[in-house]
Each structure stands twice: as C-alpha cells, then as structure tokens.
A and B are shown apart, each in its own frame.
Chain A
Amino acid sequence: MDKKIREPLFHLVKRDNLPRSKRVLIRMGAIVLALLLCALLTALTTGINPIEVFGSIVSGAFGSTRKMWITFQDLSVLLLISLALTPAFTMRFWNIGGEGQVLVGGLATAACMICLEGKVPSAVIIILSVISSVLAGALWGFIPAVCKARWNTNETLMTLMMNYIATQLVSFFIIVWEVPKGSGKIGIINQNSHAGWMPSLFGSKYMLCIAVSLAVMIFLYIYLRYSKHGYEIQVVGESENTARYVGIKVSKVIIRTMLLSGALCGLAGLLLVGSINHTITTTIAGGQGFTAVLVSWMAKFNPFTMIFSAFLIIFMKRGAGEIATTFGLNQSFADILTGMILFFIIGCEFFINYRIKRSEKHESKGEEAC
C-alpha cells in the first residue's frame, strides 16, 4: 500500500481507578482555574481589582452573623433538594422535576396553613402540613415513575412538564387565596397568629432546616450504602437487564425510589413555606430543582460530598449577588459565574476518566489495534 496512513499524535485510553487524592486534586485544580476566570470576568465588568473580587464574595456570604446564617440556611435547602434527587439519579432516572415536587410540597403546606387557621391548634396544623407536603411531593414523583416503569416514557421531559403544571397550579391557588383581592400575591400567611409556622430549634429559626437536611443526609447515606433497597437502586442504575436477571423487580424499584425522591422534595417545600418564607410564590423554589441536579452530580451522588458542592454553588451565588448589588448589576451575574464553574468541573472529569497517551509509531502495517 503506498497510500500514507496518517496516525494521530495522541490517543485516549480509559483510566481504571485514579487514586482518590489525585481525583480530588484534579477537581480542586479545575475549581481554582474557574475561580480565577470568574475573578477576571468580574474585574472586567465592574472594574474592581481581581483580588478585591474574592473579598467581596466572602463578605457577601459571611459578612455578618445574619448573612452567615442565611448562607447556611440556603445551603441546607439546596442540600436537601440535591439529596432528594440523589436516589433517583443513582438508578439513572433523570428526575429534573425537583422544582415541581418542591412547589407542590410548599403548596400543600400553604393550603394547611391557610385553610386550617383558627380551626385546629397550631401543632395539629404543623403535623398535617408535614404529612400533606410529603404526600404531595411523593405524588408528583409517582406519576412519572409509573409511566417510566410501565411504558418507558422519557422521564426527563415528563418531570419537566410536571414542573410547569405545578407552577400553574400554584399560581391558580395564589389567585384563589390572594390577600388583598386583586393583588396577585398572598403575602405572609398567618402573620398575627403564627398558626402552622414551624417551630425554631435550639433557639434559632435557621436551625430547623439545617438539622433536617443533616438528618436526611445521614439517612440517605445509610439507605443507599447499607440497605437492601440501596443495593437494588445501584444494580438498576448499572444495568436494568442485570437487575431483572438477579430477580429485582425493576418497575417496583423505580416507583419506590421516585416516591422517596418526591417525598423528600416535598419536605424541602414544607421548609421553604412553613419555616423560611411563610408565603408561597411560583418562584419559591428559585430554580434550585435544576441546580440540585448539578450539585448531586458534582458530588458523584455521595451524600457527604454534596455538602461541598452545594456550598460552592451557594457561596458563589451569595457572593456574586453581593457584587451585583454593590455595582447595580443584574442578579443573574451569579448564574454566569456558577455556569462557568460548572463547565470547568464538567470538563475536568475527562482528565479523571481518560488518559492522553502519545501514540507509538507503527512501523509495520500490521493489524490495527482496536
């Protein structure tokens, strides 16, 4: 053959198992690079010195005791939603309907608070809102799960549509309950009686969310790691055929896992309405249902690592929010920075999974390695 075969200079080889320390190092490197780029971008748009940018970000997140508590509270809510989505992701069920599941949970809480005020004691309202929000979230997870299990319906799009149905449902009830009529919003529910407001824990109104999300984190770690259910979820995630072969009922696992996932999202809705905002709007979840997907993925579905990834997102969000406010810029600045960090983290996975190898020169035209 006299046609010259051009060989590529490099080729990729899959890596088996990179030591943990190296994996962490690569990810940290990516985050540092991303932060540097963010600082550069901020410096270009606002004209402040790049080192000051980090100062502003830190002071935005931790500048005062109140800011710090709010940072931790936001962190715990995002962590809770990410945790809620994790069991579904572990079995490769792309539940991007966290937003809707949180919303219906919040709606159920608001319904209990509004309809039962003055009729039953506050403690009963709280118990009923816990039950109803968990059930509502579970229902929102159940519908796509059944369709997936029975007809293999595309769960990504289905959960997405469920989000919008939930949003419209909330805006319907907002108009039904609006105070005063015609204002298009509800305002603080039970402002005077505080009926149905979640109690504060350890003397701080922020502690409840933090405690709940930590409890859920430990529960999920044990559930996914050491229980039979968790094992079944892992097997279904790896291969549905294998799962079927070893006698796991795949449809049952899908439905059960999504019930859990939806219920935990509903719990997040309960906290958002009952403990943090005491009102409901269509944007109360604030896109965290989508962010949570990324948080959960960044942590490689490990509940404990999720604290760090959620912290990174919240930290940047609060910090960039501070910069945006100071310079009269739009709050979406945070989304741009978050997006850039995510791109770096997504990109760096490549260096963990693959090795770039210099191709050796083939002298003989023997069989092509494949």
Chain B
Amino acid sequence: MLGFLSFIPRAVGQGIPLLFGCTGEIVTEKSGNLNLGIPGVMYVGAISGVIGSFFYENSLNGRPLNGFLAITIPLLCSLLGSFLMGMLYCFLTVTLRANQNVTGLAMTTFGVGFGNFFGGSLIKLSNLDVPTIALSKTSAFFSATLPFASKAGWFGQIFLSYGFLAYLGIATALVVAFILKKTRIGLHLRAVGESPTTADAAGINVTKYKYVSTVAGCMIAGLGGLYYVMDYASGVWSNDAFGDRGWLAIALVIFTIWKADIGILASVLFGGLYILYLYIPTGMAHMELKELYKMIPYIVTLVVLIITSMRNRREDQPPASLGLNYFREDR
C-alpha cells in the first residue's frame, strides 16, 4: 500500500494537464465558443514542443544543453502549434460560421492524428540515428524543483515537488479567474458569451473577443500537453499515451461551473480519481476489478453532470450563446 504522501504529488501530476485544458476551455467557452477540439489541440501542443526540443537536443551532438534554450524552444514551439490550431478553429467558426461541434471533432481527429503521426514518424522523417524519442535532458529542466524542496519533509513533497509548469498552470488559472471576475475585459468577454447581439450593440468587437479568447484558450490548453510529455512522462513520447485527458478537461469545465479558480482543486481531485485504481487493493486473483475502478472518474463526471442539470440554478448555467455562431444580420 502506497502512502497518502505519495498519492498527493501523483494526483497533482495527473491533474495539471487537466487544469491547463480546463482553464483554456473556460476562457474559450466564456466567449460562446464550444471548442471540442481541445483534445486535439493538447496533442498538437505536446508534439510541437517535442519536435522543437528533439531537433535542439540532436543538433548539439551530446554537448550539454543550455538551460534557457532547453526550456524556451519547446515552450515557444508548443505555443505556436496550439496558436495555429486556435486560429484554424476561429477562422472556421467565427469568420466562416461553421458548426462548432463538427469543427471541434474534426480538429480532434486532425490533432490526435498529427501528434501520433509525428510521434511515430519523426525519427524516420528526420533521418537521425536515435532509437526512441526520449528527451530526458530537456525533461530534467522541465521537472527541476527548487533546490531545498527535497529537504522540506512532507511540506516539500506535497507543495514543492513539481516543475515550473505546474505552478504556471495554477497561476494561469488564478489570473484567468481574476480577469473574468474583476476586470472590464472579463466583463466584455462574458457579455459576448451571454449575448453577442447586446455586446455588439454596446460597441464591443465580438469577432475580436471571440478570436482572442479562443486562441488564448487553445494556447493555455496546449501547455497541458507539453507539461504531460515533458514533466509527467519524463520527455518520452509514446503514441496515444495522453489518452482521453482532453475530453476529461472539457468535462471538468462543467464540473467547475465555468470558474477557473475552482478548476485548481477540481483538477487535482480528478487527477486523484484517475490514478485511484492503483491504490485500491484487489489482490492478484481479481485483476479485472482494476478495470472497473478505472471507470470512477467518468462515473463521477456523469453524476456531477446530472446533478448540476437537476439543480438547474441560474448562476450555474453555461454562457447563454454557447455553441452558437454570431451573425450580425441574423435575428
């Protein structure tokens, strides 16, 4: 039986990708765009970072990495990759007013395919003589903790044992919560999501708000993919390893009733549920039960979905125009 002390850091490790995805999707949905392409965007964010640091590591031929570049290159590549995906989604749904569900699903097909294709074929395409994509050196920079973290006992283990992206994720969620709740930009953004017609009449540039928030949301979500591969998976890319976390992140948005600060605790909770099956003793004779325990996060999501819809409180509702495109001349 593994202890509670080791459970928390692992739950947080699982939770951070969900947190990034959830924060990104909250920003997106507040503008009235339901981006079902987030799972694809997270894959693209992850693989773009991997491609960047793969070429950087291999261009050095075994010389030690420059710490600054080792972090900046994958970070910028990842942001660029998810930026482009965000622009694509916005172009199709905001400018061309395409159906958001369909566009999102197509982006997921494309993004997951993109990730798995380059993950599986990068070595072949680049003609480099390496056996696998294992970016352990880059990963060491991403998962570096504060030097005194390991000496700080249980406090260090629970609060200080993560790489910088984890803290960035929490900071992003807090900043997003602040912007949405307290600033004028946040007010305008919420207005766009609730009623674009009213916002338009009030002189708010609906198209601009939709573009900026959706693209920013995608870039935040993409970082979740980067965190997963660089920190959690120690720089090793394996196809489909990221799994369904993107979809869970979208479900988390409803769980947190569109509040980014609640997302921090909720994603750690979900991260815990995700690995709970490792901590429930089954005995060797009944390994099949583990598969049933893996259902827990999905069943919890399902129950939460049903309960929030049953309570049907006004302040817990999604943005009123969520999933609908805005065309000024419509009525």
Contacts and interface: CB of A to CB of B under 8 A. Distances in A.
A291 B305 CA distance: 25
B109 A342 contact: yes
B97 A161 contact: no
A348 B94 CA distance: 14
B117 A157 contact: no
A287 B247 CA distance: 14
A329 B327 CA distance: 43
A45 B125 contact: yes
Interface string B250-294: 110010000000000000000000000000000000011101101
Nearest to A150: B310
Contacts of A354: 97
A96 B291 CA distance: 23
Contact of A158 (B108, B114, B291, B302): B302
B109 A330 contact: no
Nearest to B122: A330
B163 interface: no
Contacts of A201: none
B116 interface: yes
Contact of A335 (B97, B112, B287): B112
A172 B36 contact: no
Contact of A329 (B117, B299, B329): B117
B107 interface: yes
A172 B239 CA distance: 23
B102 interface: yes
Nearest to B40: A339
A160 B239 contact: no
Interface in A46-78: none
Interface in A324-355: 328-336, 338-340, 342-343, 346-347, 349-350, 353-354
B112 to A, nearest CB: 7
Interface stretch (A162-170, A218-226, A236-244, A250-258): A162-170
B113 A336 contact: yes
A165 B247 CA distance: 13
B116 A339 contact: no
A328 B123 CA distance: 11
A172 B286 CA distance: 10
Given A165-B299, A169-B295, A290-B108, A297 B117 contact: no
B113 A168 contact: no
Contacts of B292: 168-169, 172
Contact of A165 (B110, B302, B306): B302
A340 B288 contact: no
B306 A147 contact: yes
Contact of B110 (A13, A156, A336): A336
B312 interface: yes
Interface in A151-194: 151-154, 156-158, 160-162, 164-165, 168-169, 171-176
A369 to B, nearest CB: 9
A94 interface: yes
B175 interface: no
B288 A290 contact: no
A168 B296 CA distance: 10
B198 interface: no
B117 A350 contact: no
Given A147-B309, A330-B119, A349-B96, A157 B254 contact: yes
B110 A175 contact: no
A342 B116 contact: no
Contacts of A13: 329
- Listed residue (B117, B244, B294, B312) with the most chain A CB atoms within 10 angstroms of its CB: B117
B102 A168 contact: no
A290 B88 contact: no
Nearest to A334: B113
B279 to A, nearest CB: 17
B84 interface: no
A229 interface: no
A175 B124 contact: no
A7 to B, nearest CB: 14
Nearest to A184: B287
A28 interface: no
A14 interface: yes
Given A94-B101, A336-B114, A164 B306 contact: no
A370 B295 CA distance: 52
Contacts of A12: 327, 329
A38 interface: no
Nearest to B112: A335
Contact of B102 (A297, A330, A336): A297
22 contacts: A14-B330, A45-B121, A94-B101, A96-B105, A147-B309, A153-B305, A160-B247, A161-B301, A293-B102, A329-B117, A330-B117, A332-B112, A332-B116, A333-B113, A335-B117, A338-B113, A339-B106, A343-B106, A346-B92, A346-B98, A349-B98, A370-B329
Interface of B: 36, 88, 91-92, 96-99, 101-103, 105-117, 119-121, 124-125, 239, 244, 247, 250-251, 254, 287-289, 291-292, 294-295, 298-299, 301-302, 305-306, 309-310, 312, 318, 327-330
